[in-house]
C-alpha cells in the first residue's frame, strides 16, 4: 500500500528552495543578523497565522487581527505608563485580545452575521480605539522586564520564537488529541451534521475567535516589547495579509475542516522568508502586497481544485448568513 506523503513536507521543500535562491541572489540574506531579524519578524506573523488557523478551520475568517495587535500593544503600554507592573499589563492586553475575539465569535454565532463583515467592522473599531486613547501619539515603555518578551532569549533562542513554538505545540495537542479539536474540525467540515451530533457549535465558534484574539495579543506584546514603544498604528501594515497567506500556504482550507498547526507554522516561515528576502534584495515595499496577494490567490486556487468546489461557493460562504442553530446546540 502506498503511503501518503504529508503536505508539510512539500512546504518544507518550498521554504528551503526559496531560502537557497535568496541566498544566491544576496549574500546578506544568509548572515546571522538577518536570520535573527527574519525569526523575530516571523514570530509575529506565526502567532497571527496560528490564531487565523483556528478560525479558518471552522469555515470563518478573522480580519481584525492586525488592528488587534495595535489595540493590545497599546493597552499594555498605557497600563505600564500608569504604574502597573509589566506582567499585569501583559495579562490585561491578552484579556482584551480574547475579549475582542469573543465579541467577533458571539456576533457571528448569535446574530448569524457573516464572519467577513463582522471582523471587518471590528477591524475598524479596534484600529480607532488606540488612536482615541492616545490622541494618535506613541507611548514609551520604561519597564526593563517587559523587554524580555520581545528581546530576551533562552539558550540562544529568541523569546518570541520560543513563545511561538510553545503555542504551536499546545495548539497541535488541542487539535489532534482532544475533543475540542474534533469539534473544531467537525464544525468546519459540516455544521449541520455537527449540530445533529450534539457538538456545541456556539461555544466552538466563540472559542476559536477568542484564540485568534489571544494570538493577536501576543503579537501586540512582541511588537511593543521589541520597540519598547506602543504605537497606535502598529499592525496596520501587511500583518492581516500575511496571517491569511501563511495559513493558506500552509494547507489550511478556506472552506474549513482541513489544515494543521505545523502546516500554518511552516506557511508563516515561508511568508516571513519571502518578505525578508524582498527587503534584503531591495524590492520596493509597494511590491510586497502584490506578491503576498498572488500567494493568497494561488493558495485559494489550489484549495479550490483540491476540494473540487467552485470558487464562487467560497465567496458566497464568506458573505452568507449562517443558518439558525437551535438553543440546545449553543
DSSP 174-233: HHHHSHHHHHHHHHHH-HHHHHHTT--HHHHHHHHHHHHHHHHHHHHHHHHHHHTEE-TT
What pLDDT, on the 0 to 100 scale, is given for residue 204? 94
Q: Confidence band (pLDDT; 50, 70, 90) for 248?
A: confident
pLDDT surpassing 70 at residue 93: yes
As a whole number of angstroms, the distance between CA 61 and CA 254 comes to 8
Euclidean distance between CA atoms 78 and 27, whole angstroms: 41
Integer angstrom CA distances of residue 1 from 4, 118, 270:
9, 46, 32
Grid cell at residue 288: 510586497
Number of Cβ within 10 Å of residue 278's Cβ equals: 17
pLDDT of residue 42: 86
> pTM of the full predicted structure?
0.86
101 and 211 Cβ atoms separated by less than 8 Å: yes
- Contact between 288 and 273 under an 8 Å Cβ cutoff? The reply is no
User: What would the mean pLDDT of 95-99 be, rounded to a whole number?
Assistant: 96
* 7-15+28-329 has CATH 1.10.260 classification: no
Residue by residue, what is the 3-state secondary structure of 22-58?
HHHHCHHHHCHHHHHHHHHHHHHHHHHHHHHHHHHHC
Q: Is the pLDDT of residue 179 over 70?
A: yes
Judged by average pLDDT, the poorest of 16-20, 68-72, 234-238, 280-284 is 234-238
Higher pLDDT: 322 or 89? It is 89
Residue 257 DSSP class: S
Query: Average pLDDT of the chain?
Result: 84
Amino acid at each position: 500500500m502506498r503511503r501518503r506523503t504529508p503536505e508539510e513536507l512539500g512546504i518544507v521543500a518550498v521554504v528551503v528552495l526559496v531560502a537557497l535562491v535568496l541566498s544566491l541572489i544576496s549574500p546578506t540574506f544568509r548572515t546571522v543578523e538577518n536570520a535573527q531579524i527574519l525569526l523575530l519578524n516571523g514570530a509575529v506573523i506565526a502567532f497571527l497565522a496560528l490564531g487565523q488557523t483556528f478560525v479558518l478551520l471552522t469555515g470563518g475568517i478573522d480580519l481584525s487581527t492586525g488592528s488587534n495587535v495595535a489595540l493590545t500593544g497599546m493597552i499594555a503600554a498605557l497600563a505600564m505608563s500608569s504604574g502597573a507592573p509589566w506582567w499585569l499589563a501583559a495579562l490585561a492586553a491578552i484579556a482584551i485580545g480574547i475579549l475582542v475575539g469573543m465579541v467577533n465569535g458571539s456576533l457571528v454565532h448569535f446574530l448569524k452575521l457573516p464572519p467577513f463583515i463582522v471582523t471587518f467592522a471590528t477591524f475598524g473599531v479596534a484600529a480607532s480605539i488606540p488612536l482615541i486613547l492616545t490622541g494618535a501619539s506613541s507611548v514609551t515603555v520604561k519597564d526593563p522586564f517587559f523587554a524580555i518578551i520581545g528581546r530576551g532569549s533562552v539558550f540562544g533562542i529568541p523569546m518570541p520564537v520560543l513563545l511561538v513554538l510553545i503555542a504551536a505545540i499546545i495548539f497541535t495537542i488541542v487539535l489532534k488529541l482532544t475533543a475540542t479539536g474534533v469539534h473544531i474540525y467537525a464544525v468546519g467540515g459540516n455544521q449541520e451534521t455537527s449540530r445533529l451530533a450534539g457538538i456545541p457549535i456556539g461555544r466552538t465558534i466563540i472559542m476559536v475567535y477568542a484564540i485568534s484574539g489571544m494570538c493577536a495579543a501576543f503579537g501586540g506584546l512582541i511588537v511593543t516589547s521589541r520597540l519598547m514603544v506602543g504605537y497606535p498604528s502598529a499592525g496596520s501594515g501587511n500583518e492581516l495579509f500575511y496571517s491569511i497567506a501563511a495559513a493558506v500556504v500552509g494547507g489550511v482550507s478556506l472552506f474549513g475542516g482541513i489544515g494543521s498547526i505545523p502546516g500554518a507554522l511552516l506557511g508563516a516561515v515561508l511568508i516571513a522568508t519571502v518578505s525578508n528576502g524582498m527587503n534584503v534584495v531591495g524590492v520596493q515595499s509597494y511590491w510586497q502586497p502584490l506578491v503576498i496577494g498572488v500567494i493568497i490567490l494561488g493558495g485559494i486556487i489550489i484549495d479550490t481544485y483540491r476540494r473540487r468546489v467552485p470558487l464562487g461557493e467560497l465567496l458566497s460562504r464568506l458573505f452568507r448568513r449562517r443558518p439558525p442553530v437551535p438553543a440546545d446546540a449553543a
